[in-house]
Chains A and B, each alone.
Chain A
């Protein structure tokens, strides 16, 4: 299995810190930031495969961040973490191009599975694009 890079965005530091540790332990190159703004900054500098994004955050919330990420990196796969604003915001996120949503508190294995699926889809997309470029 490829090592893929995941960015976790959540304002709850205890949560963020732990999930990053747990993902790393599962051979995922995870990085955590605690706001949407920081996420966008770090996306400028580094390459990530999947973003796990909390919906409800102070300042720039998950939906806004999602829109911005999709604008800057259209191929980036995003998984929404919803707990506060319930299913609707998750669905809204999916309409805006998120890969899926996971209800908080999430099971780590379930989350990991979704991350993997997202990564596969992204790879597939990138592969297709590369192929089409080759043809051209």
Chain B
């Protein structure tokens, strides 16, 4: 398979793995976050709702108390009693001792005249007959005003109670300081940005909010008709987002508004979001890195095993090719050998006869003799070929004996020293000291060495160097004999075929083309292998791997 195919496979693995791991991760993260966010928000809203309700109840109670105090006072005294300012003063002092929220106390008759007054201002003698609150209280019996600054230029509101005494009707009126009231509302302001204030039914502020707006200014964004209970909503009021709890007071057309800053209140939620996103990103990175790593490792493994398989395949192919060719070669040799034997005998017989007297006198005797010799010579040549072929095909069990490869190499090189010397070829040997002995077939190994050396000498021709190196690493199962020449080298297209039987680059008649194929099959039979590397112009290197066997087979 090509690199492109592997890359594609790698991305497929990455894509699939990422898809299957990221989708659940994201889904889990999002749903966890939304569940948490939902429950947390509703908890905040519930808290806010109960806070608003508590506050409203307290304020209602505040009004109830004031109203019932005044009512009790009005109904337990007659107008005449209260007209007496000294008496009124003593009652007022008593009330103030209990609660500082009363600023003044006054009695107004049915015509609107302020008949008695106790307090810090000079209000006695004023007539309220044309004031709106006067009509309201005469109509309903009890009146609580909105906050106003009135004559005094200070925020306050009044509570007025009407008393019917026989035919007469009079009004007891108290001014309430908004300070206490304000502080009750302010107690509901929480956090850095939280706010609490009271609006009347015209959206006019009755207490001063912490942010944005003065007392008695209007906030137009609220459009709420009176409702029962408490509303909690996420709204934008005055350009600022907030969670607003709104509830109407029971005794008065006032609406309590408690605002909380969602950023502040939802900070833990924000933290949770950061945590989810952070952990998600971290997981994402881990998964991506892991996936890339695993995919790369898998593809590398695949490539490796595929390459091993390719090597195995090519080895297998070479072996089966050798086996098939061996059979073919043996068959041919057998068939040729018999007629060859007959020719040999016949020509021998002719030779014998030529020795007889009468024929030697014939005028063509020398021609006959020469022809017979030539036939004999060429039969011998053919015989060599068939015998080598038979040797190639032979499946004889190799002999098992202890072999010292260095010594064997030396012995083999001795055969060739004269030839090499004559051709001015230097033979360098570089033996590994302490090369272990192995159990093998020395005669067959020697045949392989001879073949390789002969090829090296033939490749160089004249003037050159052949180096013979042995090496061994105790971790390996093989020792290596490396035979390198500095001959012309072998071109790539030829290199693939050098182990094929009958493949030769030598001139016709000088080589059989069997040397290397025999060497190959011998090495294979001995459990080793033979590798070749060559570069045109630089030379050729044969590496012979000989397995190290310590014990002779039984």
* Cα–Cα distance between A86 and B342 once the two chains are bound (Å): 17
Residue of A with least CB distance to B395? A88
Q: Produce 1/0 per residue, A58-88, CB < 8 A to B.
A: 0000000000000000000000000110111
CB under 8 Å from chain B, chain A span 93-131: 103-106, 108
Q: Produce 1/0 per residue, A13-49, CB < 8 A to B.
A: 0110011011001000000000000000000000000
Place the interface of chain A in its size category. 10 to 19
Note all chain A residues with C-beta closer than 8 A to B349: 18, 21-22
Residue B204 at the chain A interface, CB threshold 8 Å? no
Are the C-beta atoms of A83 and B396 separated by less than 8 Å? no
Residue B506 at the chain A interface, CB threshold 8 Å? no
Residue of A with least CB distance to B383? A105
Residue of B with least CB distance to A21? B349
Are the C-beta atoms of A83 and B394 separated by less than 8 Å? no
* Cα–Cα distance between A105 and B336 once the two chains are bound (Å): 10
Known: A88-B396, A103-B387. A12 touches B338 (CB 8 A): yes
Note all chain B residues with C-beta closer than 8 A to A25: 352
Are the C-beta atoms of B346 and A105 separated by less than 8 Å? no
Known: A14-B346, A21-B349. A106 touches B341 (CB 8 A): yes
Q: Produce 1/0 per residue, B315-348, CB < 8 A to A.
A: 0000000000000001000100110111111101
Residue of B with least CB distance to A85? B334
B160 → chain A, closest Cβ, in Å?
A: 140
Are the C-beta atoms of A83 and B337 separated by less than 8 Å? yes
Are the C-beta atoms of B394 and A18 separated by less than 8 Å? no
* Cα–Cα distance between A106 and B394 once the two chains are bound (Å): 20
Are the C-beta atoms of A84 and B352 separated by less than 8 Å? no
* Cα–Cα distance between A106 and B352 once the two chains are bound (Å): 15
Note all chain A residues with C-beta closer than 8 A to B396: 87-88
Task: Return the contact of A18 from the options B334, B338, B345, B390 (Cβ within 8 A).
Answer: B345
Are the C-beta atoms of A105 and B344 separated by less than 8 Å? yes
Are the C-beta atoms of B344 and A14 separated by less than 8 Å? no
Are the C-beta atoms of B348 and A104 separated by less than 8 Å? no
Note all chain B residues with C-beta closer than 8 A to A105: 337, 340-341, 343-345, 379, 383
* Cα–Cα distance between A19 and B337 once the two chains are bound (Å): 16
Are the C-beta atoms of B346 and A18 separated by less than 8 Å? yes
**Among A21, A25, A104: residue with most chain B CB under 10 A:** A104
* Cα–Cα distance between A14 and B383 once the two chains are bound (Å): 18
CB under 8 Å from chain A, chain B span 125-176: none
Note all chain A residues with C-beta closer than 8 A to B342: 12, 14-15, 18
Would you list 5 pairs from A and B whose C-beta atoms are within 8 A, ordered by A residue? Answer: A14-B342, A22-B349, A83-B341, A105-B344, A108-B348
User: Chain A: residues with CB nearer than 8 A to chain B?
Assistant: 12, 14-15, 18-19, 21-22, 25, 83-84, 86-88, 103-106, 108
- Contacts A15-B342, A88-B396, A108-B345 aside, 11 further interface pairs with beta carbons under 8 A come to A86-B330, A86-B394, A87-B390, A88-B394, A103-B387, A104-B338, A104-B340, A104-B341, A105-B340, A105-B343, A106-B341
